[in-house]
Each structure stands twice: as C-alpha cells, then as structure tokens.
Amino acid sequence: MQVRKMTAVLVGAGNRGCVYSDYSLCAPDELSIVAVVEPNELRRNEAGERYSIPENMRFETLDEFLASKIDCDFVINATMDEWHYETAKKIMEAKYDMLLEKPIVNNEKELLDLQRTAKENGVKVNVCHVLRYTPFYKTLKTILDSGDIGTIMTMEMNEHVGIAHFIDSFVRGKWNSVARCGSGFLLQKSCHDMDLICWLNNATKPIRVTSLGSRSQFIKANAPQGATKYCYDCPHNQTCLYSAQKIHVDVDSMPFQTWAHMNKPLDSITREEKLEDLKTSPYGLCAYDSGGDINDRQIVSVEFENGSACTFTMVGGACKAGRAIHIVGTKGEIEGNIEHSKFTVRRFDRSGDKFDFDEEEIDVSKSIHESTNYGGHGGGDYAIMYELVRYLQGDNSSISITKLDDSINSHLVVYAAEKSIQERKTIDL
C-alpha cells in the first residue's frame, strides 16, 4: 500500500518511549514526532533535540498538551505503569488513537473501564506486546493458523531473565516492588509471554489458571555473613555475584535506567561519580536486602476452553537470558528459542512403511530489522511501528496487531495467576 507520512506525540520520554519514537529517525518518510510530554526537563529537551521538536511543542504535563488540541495521527503513551490508567483515559477521551506501552493496567476494573472508554470514543488503542511482531513468533503463528501441526494440545514456554537485567530492574531498580511500580514481575515483564500464550492459542480462550511462585533468592536471610547494607563497604564486594560495582559500573548493564536519577546526560557521568552515587542510591544496596518483593521465580499453568494446556516458567537471575517455546499439536510440533532466530517444525509421517516424523528448520534471522541504534526484542521494536503506521491507514492484513480487545485475556490470566499464588488455589476466569 501507499504509505503517507504520519505524525505522533510522545508522552513519556523514557527508554521505551524513545525506542518507539526512533522509528521516525529510521523511517522519516513514514513518521514524525511533532510534540513531547515529559515532566523531567532534561529528558524533555533531549527528546526535543533528538526529534527536532520546536520549543513550544515540548510540554511538561499531559493536560498542557491536551489543552493545546494539537492535531496528530496518534499518541505514544510510554508513561510508567502506575500512570497508564489516568493518562490513557484522558488521551482516549480527547479522541486520540494511541499506542500504549504494556502492561495496560494492573487490575481488572481499570482494564475494562479503558476498554469501554476506547469504544465510547471510537479510538484505536494498540498495546506494545512487541514479541508478537518479531519474525520468530509471527512466522510461528502463521504455521499454527495454517493447521500444519493440527490443534494445539500443549504449549510450554519459559523466560530466563539474565542476572544483570534482573538485578538492575527488579532487585534494586524501580520495578522491585508491587507497591513502588504498581505491578508484579509477571505483569510488568512477562505479560509479553502471557500475551503470546493467548495469541498463539486464540482459536480458543483461557478458562482456568494456577500459579506457584515466590521471592526466595534475593532475601536478607541469604546474604553472606557480615554483609553490609551497601555494597561499597561490604567485605564480599569483590566476590559477590551481585556486586553493585560489578553490575552497574564495571559492566554498566543498563545505564539509561541506573543513572537516570542523576539527571545528567549519560555520557557526561564519570566513573568516580557513579561509584560515589552507589554509596546512597538504591542501585548500591545489597541485592539480598534491597527492600523488594517481586517474585524471582514463578510457574503459571493455563487451561483453555478446548482442553489445551499451557505452562510458563519465569526465572529471575539466570546465567543465560532467553525465551524458549515448545508447542505440541495433534499433527506435529514446533520447538525453538527466539535468541537463536530459528525453530524446528516436526510433522508426523506415515507414508509407505514409515511411522515417524519429518523435521524442518526455519531460520528467520534474515527477516530481523535490528541494530544497536534501534531497539531490540528480536526485531519487534521496529516491526511494531512498521505495522502500526500501516494499520492506522487501513491495512488490516497483519496477524500481529495488538488491539486493546486482543490484550484483555492475557491481562486477566496475569491477575488470576497472582491471585492463585496469594490464595493458594486454582482460579476460574
């Protein structure tokens, strides 16, 4: 189709908001960021310069932007989790189409209210479940929909979160507690995986959920003898696997997150300043005594209306990060790992004297648009924007588009999983 250039407003100029907005730099003929809303002056002006936004189009608050009645094709809502409900509702009531960062909200009442608000105002809302758009899962979904391996019987998925990422975000970082960020690990991080379970198996719907999980590694009882509150003066600092100096300074695993509170351009912060900051910053706390309560392991089992069963296992702090999947159907199976950009399809073969299976390896690596200058997620960060620009212009051909209605079930599964852990029972949806 012929694609016209679209305009968008960025609300929340953090890392994820800028990843989506960077599509305007990658495909300037298709998208332009015409305004930014960001309460932090440094990030607001950095985004303004990055996307060539005039001074008068850089807003401190959402209300200022809405009062300006700027004409644009859609709004990118990349605010923090706990602000999604209020900001999304206002944006929809102002009749703007919206790309909304996941998760939508952390409770069923607000979720269903946003669904109603979208319908009442006739706006399109798409959720940033970027893994749907990756060549890996998109190709896998196409095979499932073709009936090539029959009807899904079971699906096994896992996400192993690497040590540095888990420590930076969920042990010391701003997502380390439900009270602090408004959602648990399963909703904040692994709602991608819950979305995949429901989307890949959307010929049916989830009806029952059971979950087990806890925070059992990163607790004070596991701290080595003599450990101090902060790593910098701890006798185990040079040997501890979770040393703040090692992860946040030597490796500097996620600088855009670790040093954001210093309110300085990242490339201007010296090593000395970082080491000094870790003496008082939450990122310098002992990983075993950081005040968090997010689960560091969890298993979710989902039963579907047609009898299919899916399981998901999350591990926080694994040596090797990655997502794996194994789907068994009535005519064959699919098994793969997104980090390898390939999966294997097995089909039953009873031709002639055979009663065996054939294997086909499918490599999607050449279909991935990914670079250090543009997001990641196996190509999903680029692909979601590529497909969104076309969807908002009337192209409904994508099997990946995550409309708000399509994301309801996966969120309900997450809420049920958390309730299952708390109440120690199976939850009916």
Q: What CA–CA distance (Å, rounded) separates 98 from 91? A: 8
pLDDT at position 369, please? 67
Write down the architecture of domain 131-218+292-370+401-428 according to CATH: 2-Layer Sandwich (3.30)
pLDDT at position 372, please? 40
pLDDT at position 220 over 50: yes
Look up residue 287 and give its amino acid: A
pLDDT at position 352 over 90: no
pLDDT at position 211 over 90: yes
pLDDT at position 371, please? 47
pLDDT at position 356, please? 79
pLDDT digits (tens, 9 = 90+) for 235-264: 999 999 999 999 999 999 899 899 989 989
pLDDT at position 355, please? 81
Pick the CATH number of 6-127 from 3.40.50.720, 3.90.280.10, 3.30.1370.10, 3.30.1490.20: 3.40.50.720
The length of the chain in residues reads 429
Contact present, 365 and 358 (Cβ < 8 Å): no
Q: What mean pLDDT comes out for the span 260-289?
A: 94
Look up residue 403 and give its amino acid: K
Q: Mean of the per-residue pLDDT values for the chain?
A: 93
The pair phi, psi for residue 156, each rounded to 5°, is -115, 125
pLDDT at position 18 over 50: yes
Q: What mean pLDDT comes out for the span 262-281?
A: 94
Q: What mean pLDDT comes out for the span 29-33?
A: 97
Domain positions in the chain: 6-127, 131-218+292-370+401-428, 220-289
Q: What mean pLDDT comes out for the span 265-287?
A: 95
Exposure pattern of 291-308 as b/e (b: 16+ CB <10 Å)? ebebbbbbbbbbbbeeeb
Contact present, 163 and 318 (Cβ < 8 Å): yes
The pair phi, psi for residue 371, each rounded to 5°, is -155, 170
pLDDT at position 152 over 80: yes
pLDDT at position 54 over 60: yes
pLDDT digits (tens, 9 = 90+) for 399-424: 999 999 999 999 999 999 999 999 99
pLDDT digits (tens, 9 = 90+) for 353-396: 778 789 999 999 888 765 445 557 778 899 999 999 999 999 99
Query: Using H for helix, E for strand and C for coil, what is the string for the chain?
Result: CCCCCEEEEEECCCHHHHHHHCHHHHCCCCEEEEEEECCCHHHHHHHHHHCCCCHHHEECCHHHHHHHCCCCCEEEECCCHHHHHHHHHHHHHCCCCEEECCCCCCCHHHHHHHHHHHHHHCCCEEECCHHHHCHHHHHHHHHHHHCCCCCEEEEEEEEEEEHHHHHHHHHCCCCCCHHHHCCCHHHHCCHHHHHHHHHHCCCCCEEEEEEEEECCCCCHHHCCCCCCCEHHHCCCCCCCCCCHHHHHHHCCCCHHHHCHHHCCCHHHCCHHHHHHHCCCCHHHECHHHCCCCCCCEEEEEEEECCCCEEEEEEEEEECCCEEEEEEEECCEEEEEEHHHCEEEEEEEECCCCCCEEEEEEEECHHHCCCECCECCHHHHHHHHHHHHHHHCCCCCCCCCCCEHHHHHHHHHHHHHHHHHHHHCCCEEC
Beta-strand relationship, 342-349 and 297-304: unpaired
pLDDT at position 94, please? 98
Q: What mean pLDDT comes out for the span 156-169?
A: 94
